[in-house]
Amino acid sequence: MEEDEYYSKILDLELDEPGGQTSSRVPPLGRRFSRPFISGGGAAPSEGPEVGRAKVAGRFLPEVERGRSQSRGGTLWLTCENLVERLERVVGRLEAVSHASDTHCGYGDSAAKGTTPYVQAFDSLLAGPVAEYLKISKEIGGDVQKHAEMVHTGLKLERALLVTASQCQQPAGNKLSDLLAPISEQIQEVVTFREKNRGSKLFNHLSAVSESIQALGWVAMAPKPGPYVKEMNDAAMFYTNRVLKEYKDVDKKHVDWVKAYLSIWTELQAYIKEFHTTGLAWSRTGPVAKELSGLPSGPSAGSGPPPPPPGPPPPPVPTSSGSDDSASRSALFAQINQGESITHALKHVSDDMKTHKNPALKAQSGLIRSGPKPFSASKPDPPKPVAKKEPALLELEGKKWRVENQENVSNLMIEDTELKQVAYIFKCVNSTLQIKGKINSITVDNCKKLGLVFDDVVGIVEIINSKDVKVQVMGKVPTISINKTDGCHVYLSKNSLDCEIVSAKSSEMNVLIPTEGGDFNEFPVPEQFKTLWNGQKLVTTVTEIAG
């Protein structure tokens, strides 16, 4: 009987034991009886007491698995659909294995996408804290929304790298740098956006993101990437605290934004601790990752213009060999070492060839000889373009007083203040500003020779990237922060003697304390420290310099 006819019939299986009873034990699929059954419907010899006989139109069939057949009075009915279903499952498994082995290792491959546990865990991070951060950033809008989209692009690039690492082995040297290049470029784009928008009303938001986006570089850190992410998270908190102070009682949306953003790095630390404790976990069995492909964002490969034609070939390499060069040098030294015989090759100069005996040669020599070139003044360098001078500002925008680009002004004053307002002083030179009343916080950024006098501040006074700044407190302030500043004098009042002064990367700092007579005693802030290991931890003390 042909195979097609054989598998197209309904199979009548008669299973019986040698004693005539129906067998409840069916051998596994794939076993056949030891001797063929002779066509004609006769009885086949038994293989053993535990093996029944399967008969279909005079031929033996593979027995079916126990539990997959349906028994009716000793007769089992099995259709060809059962066999087809099982074959399809086997074929599907083979195709999956074959497809996975042919996967091209690069960013964004569709094969096995999201199948590894750590890729699925990263997807949960994107769907949780990241999605919440993007949602709130969109509600705030403006520069915060644009910045959040850049961060999202960086996270998608990182996910693409994780997919690649789950399928491929780690490349070495420059190949690995090429794979990490898109993430590095996106990090730089986030930082540049903050620098280009220093005048933004949401500058603290942008700074928090810019200072911590470096955490995406954990994929290149080993053996402990987790602490690196925590360090970046701490850097962000310096600016998120400003956001909380500014909007705590004004707009809860910004407070939620801070929580959502910081939770990204907190969850990332836990993720790294679980899946990448000693560094990015690459596959050990796949092919080596070679190139970038299928990036998650950006224009398609075919949308740009065709590449330019190749340039002209380089000039041919001289064909002279090293032996020719050495031979010519030898000949030159041989001529030099001839001694007195070297003059034999010189030609005799007759009287008619001498200028002092042949006046006609002097007239000719005036035409032939070339004198020194006449002096010519060098062309002056083109004038450098004058830097554009930004307009001076002293205005209230919302709840922020902006004092910017003031030069040589000694009577600047802000009088109409409120508790929820803040002051931002930027690029002021050789000027004096007085702020009356009670205000939330004051920031002095990139100023030179600035004098600042204020009454009361409920939050913090910060001096950043400045030089030769003098600050006088007339009322009370809880904290004064000095960062990256050379030359800062702080005059405290009697009510602000409990003020905390925090400094970093600064020099020439002095605190002046009032006396009973109305004068001030000056105390320098230490700049030099000594650190020792005591067996358990580092102990840092101020260095005492004698004399």
**Each residue of 112-168: pLDDT tens digit?**
444 689 889 999 999 999 999 999 999 999 999 999 999 999 999 999 888 888 888
pLDDT at 84: 72
CA distance linking residue 81 with residue 435, whole number of Å:
88
482 strand-pairing partners: 463, 503
CB 33 within 8 A of CB 60: yes
CA distance linking residue 536 with residue 326, whole number of Å:
68
pLDDT at 24: 40
Distance, C-alpha 426 to centroid of its chain: 30
* Phi-psi domain of 153 (left: phi exceeds 0; alpha: psi -120 through 50; beta: other): alpha
pLDDT at 2: 47
Tell me which residue of 249, 199, 202, 235 sits closest to 458, measured CA to CA: 249
Residue the block writes with tokens 């009370």: 476
Distances (CA, A) of 180 to 125, 157, 221, 438, 445: 21, 9, 12, 50, 34
Backbone angles phi, psi at 425, to 5 degrees: -110, 120
Burial of 136 (0-12, 13-18, 19+ CB in 10 A): buried
**Per residue in 19-29, is it b (16+ CB within 10 Å) or e — as a string?**
eeeebeebbee
- Compute how many other C-beta atoms are within 10 angstroms of the C-beta atom of residue 233: 21
**Domains identified in the chain and CATH numbers:** 1-102 (no CATH), 117-275 (1.25.40.330), 393-542 (2.160.20.70)
Q: Look at residue 540 and give its three-state secondary structure.
A: strand
CB 415 within 8 A of CB 440: no
Distances (CA, A) of 399 to 416, 420, 425, 441: 12, 7, 14, 11
pLDDT at 75: 39
Distances (CA, A) of 367 to 353, 372, 374: 16, 14, 17
pLDDT at 360: 73
CB 492 within 8 A of CB 501: no
13 strand-pairing partners: 76
Tell me which residue of 255, 267, 215, 220 sits closest to 236, measured CA to CA: 215
CA distance linking residue 251 with residue 228, whole number of Å:
32
Q: Which residues of the chain have pLDDT under 70?
A: 1-81, 91-115, 290-330, 332-345, 362-387, 545-547
Tell me which residue of 283, 168, 162, 138 sits closest to 219, measured CA to CA: 162
Tell me which residue of 436, 524, 453, 396 sits closest to 444, measured CA to CA: 453
Maximum alpha-carbon separation in the chain? 147
CB 212 within 8 A of CB 233: yes
What Rg value do the Cα atoms of the chain yield, rounded? 43
pLDDT at 314: 53
Q: In what helix (H) or strand (E) does residue 533 lie, and over which residues does it extend?
A: strand 529-533
Tell me which residue of 190, 167, 189, 194 sits closest to 179, measured CA to CA: 167
Distances (CA, A) of 377 to 41, 372, 374, 383, 384: 120, 15, 10, 17, 20
User: What's the CA dihedral at 232, 235, 236, 239 to 10 degrees?
Assistant: -170
CB 509 within 8 A of CB 488: yes
Q: In what helix (H) or strand (E) does residue 436 lie, and over which residues does it extend?
A: strand 429-439
Q: How many CA atoms lie within 13 A of 281 on its CB side?
A: 13
pLDDT at 422: 94
